[in-house]
């Protein structure tokens, strides 16, 4: 009788551990997909210019920050045209309550500015490397980027 109970308890614990591992693995995939989509849409938001294109992958606070940056670069009648050349994820961390998470990445970007009206290039192409951290929150069952912070390492001018 004790062996059956021990066996059942062991099986139940093993199943719960597997489910938790699967949930964590699923979170890691979903987090990386969210950050990848966020970056693709940030390129679009800056070139349009329209921060609201990011609304499915960013919180209102992050959209506001992006909108402020767009206004800042538009004051000189320019737009930023960027390309994410490479991104390697360095970590994913999910809080125990699964409401917040952080993702780290090393990124290489190319960008230049264009005239807002003519769309002609008005700056040299820059290549920049970043060590980035993305803080995400779970909202309505999906992950949203709440803040991106990055340390820039200049590659070329």
Please state which architecture CATH assigns to domain 2-156. Roll (3.10)
Give me the residue spans of the domains in the chain: 2-156
In the three-class reduction of DSSP (H, G, I as helix; E, B as strand; rest coil), residue 148 is classed as strand
pTM (predicted TM-score): 0.80
pLDDT in tens, 52-83: 999 999 999 999 999 999 999 999 999 999 99
CA distances (Å), origin 35, targets 1, 41, 47, 48, 133: 51, 10, 19, 20, 10
For residue 153, what pLDDT is reported? 81
pLDDT digits (tens, 9 = 90+) for 104-144: 999 999 999 999 999 999 999 999 999 999 999 999 999 99
Q: What is the mean pLDDT of residues 143-151?
A: 97
| CA 70 vs CA 11, 40, 45: distances in Å | 55, 16, 8
pLDDT of the residue at 11: 44
pLDDT at residue 78 in the model? 95
Task: Tell me what pLDDT residue 12 has.
Answer: 44
**Residue 8: is its pLDDT beyond 80?**
no
């Amino acid at each position: 009788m004790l062996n059956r109970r021990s066996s059942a308890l062991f099986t139940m614990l093993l199943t719960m551990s597997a489910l938790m591992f699967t949930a964590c693995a699923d979170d890691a995939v979903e987090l990386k997909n969210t950050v990848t989509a966020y970056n693709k849409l940030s390129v679009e938001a800056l070139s349009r210019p329209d921060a609201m294109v990011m609304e499915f992958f960013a919180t209102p606070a992050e959209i506001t920050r992006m909108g402020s940056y767009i206004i800042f670069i538009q004051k000189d009648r320019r737009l930023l045209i960027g390309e994410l050349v490479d991104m390697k994820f360095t970590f994913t961390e999910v809080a125990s309550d699964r409401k917040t998470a952080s993702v780290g990445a090393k990124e290489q970007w190319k960008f230049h500015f264009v005239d807002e009206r003519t769309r002609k290039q008005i700056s040299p192409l820059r290549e920049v490397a970043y060590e980035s951290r993305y803080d995400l929150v779970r909202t309505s069952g999906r992950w949203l980027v709440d803040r991106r912070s990055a340390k820039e390492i200049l590659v070329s001018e």
